[in-house]
A and B are shown apart, each in its own frame.
Chain A
Amino acid sequence: MNKAEILVIGSGPAGLKASLSAAEQGAGVALLERDSFLGGQLVKQTHMFFGSKEQYASERGFKIAEKLNLEAEEHPNIKILKDATVLGYYEEGIVSLEVKGKFATIKPAAIIIATGAQENTLMFPNCDLPGIYGAGAVQTLMNVYGVLPGKRVAMVGAGNIGVIVSYQLLQAGVEVPVIIEAMPHIGAYHVHASKVRRMGVPIYTSHTVLSAHGSESLEKITMAEIDQDRNPVTGTEKDLEVDVLCIAVGLTPLTEILFQAGCKMAYIPELGGHVPLRSDNLETSVPNIFVAGDVGGIEEASAAMVEGSIAGLTAAFNLGYGKESYAGLLAAAKRELDHLRRGPVGEKIRIGLESLSSFVEVK
């Protein structure tokens, strides 16, 4: 059995920051990543981030990943395990994993779960045809491996992901004839939405995909307007020839380990599904198990990084570490998080966190 002080599961923005923050305080960290590279979804983000200097404003996601990866790889307190997938959590606090094809177990004193999220699907006839891809898959193909997902791609979802990926498709030379959004308004930041509109991509709000067509893979979709009750309006059906339909209709937290570890969970639609109850310092109902990032509620990478810092600092402090800098860093991170969640952009997450806090108090 391997021993680790703090086990961080997932090396996306939350896990990387959690590892670095805990290691900086002097704790030993084992950082697990199921992929063969660190960075999670950051590696496919080509757009520039907002926020303050601390949040890497004006830097592109993949550049932030490069920076953090290097810091983690060079840190003497961080042991990185790539190609390592967690298999299960056992009562005694033992975590089993598969590392490069071999079975292993590890017993950490604290765990920070930063597993992220998976994409939601959308149901309509033939929604399983090849050519109908999640927005993450399109980004992976195009931005990581330089493979074009198709020639003509219709996008579903005018939230930030849908609009940003549409822009990335245009950058890669792909035609985007339409963005289809079920809500009556555009969810994305206006700076992103107006950019694709200027490039001639129409955004159809109050519209949905009725069905897909094709024998072996996607050839055509039928879209239509929907009314207030989300029923299709007869006579508005329209066929569109596309070889890819990209689905960007939100994410669901990847919570399996939290459930298995017995963390108290609550279903909060605004946060994307089941999420763990947790303290202000992101400790769940199981002592020394923390969450950070999308697994605790769908937000965005900047917030995930700050949450990572909070969880990492606290996990280290609970184990008896904590330098003079601890209290100041924790307070600063919490201020940053509050700041990120201000205004209309953070409204959904604020509502979600509010209803989460109405569940049983976690000490």
Chain B
Amino acid sequence: MRIQVHPILEFKKGKKISFTYDGKTVEGYEGEPIAAALHAAGVRVLSHSRNYKRPRGFWCAIGNCSSCNMRVNGIPNVRTCVEPLQSGMIVETQQGRGAIGGALNE
């Protein structure tokens, strides 16, 4: 869901590109935060809480709260609310807490 016309704002968008979200191809605009592109595509669950696996989405959208952490191009704990979207990115729902240097501990 994107705003088409706005009384005050004009949105400067990057070029339309595609990336994958859990294996599915999704479209977004280059340079916008990954989570904004996902939200526009109807994806609201971005992560799960560590102990009870409760679904989690956006909260702060400024890189503070870690509610939107996902695995991007194999790197865990990427703050998708501030990470700019690039063509061909592989965005995945993260399982576990992630580990430095690979899949250990996940």
A contact set with B: CB distance below 8 Å: 34-36, 46, 60, 62, 118-119, 121, 128-134, 136-137, 140-143, 145-151, 171-173, 216-217, 254
Contacts and interface: CB of A to CB of B under 8 A. Distances in A.
A137 B55 CA distance: 18
A197 B34 CA distance: 35
A134 B3 contact: no
B39 A147 contact: yes
13 contacts: A36-B84, A121-B59, A128-B49, A131-B44, A133-B59, A141-B61, A143-B9, A146-B9, A146-B13, A172-B6, A216-B44, A216-B45, A216-B55
Nearest to B6: A172
A172 to B, nearest CB: 5
B44 to A, nearest CB: 4
B60 interface: yes
Contacts of A46: 8-9
Given A133-B59, A147-B36, A147-B40, 20 more contacts: A35-B62, A62-B9, A118-B62, A131-B57, A132-B59, A133-B57, A136-B60, A140-B81, A141-B39, A142-B3, A143-B9, A146-B11, A146-B13, A147-B1, A147-B39, A148-B40, A171-B6, A173-B3, A216-B45, A254-B64
A133 B7 contact: no
Residue with the highest number of chain B CB atoms closer than 10 Å, among A133, A145, A171: A145
Given A128-B54, A148-B3, A217-B44, A140 B62 contact: yes
Contact of B60 (A119, A130, A216): A119
Contact of A140 (B3, B49, B55, B61): B61
Nearest to B62: A136
A130 B6 contact: no
Nearest to B47: A130
A134 B60 CA distance: 6
B11 A130 contact: no
A181 B56 CA distance: 25
Given A141-B39, A145-B32, A130 B2 contact: no
Interface residues of B, number: 33
A176 to B, nearest CB: 15
A233 B40 CA distance: 38
A130 B8 CA distance: 28
B2 A146 contact: yes
Nearest to A118: B64
A173 B8 CA distance: 13
B58 interface: yes
A171 B7 contact: yes
A217 B1 contact: no
Contacts of A119: 59-60
Given A35-B82, A36-B84, A129-B55, A147 B3 contact: yes
Contacts of B60: 118-119, 134, 136-137
B8 to A, nearest CB: 5
Contacts of B61: 133-134, 136-137, 140-141
Interface in B1-50: 1-3, 6-9, 11, 13, 32-33, 36, 39-40, 44-46, 49
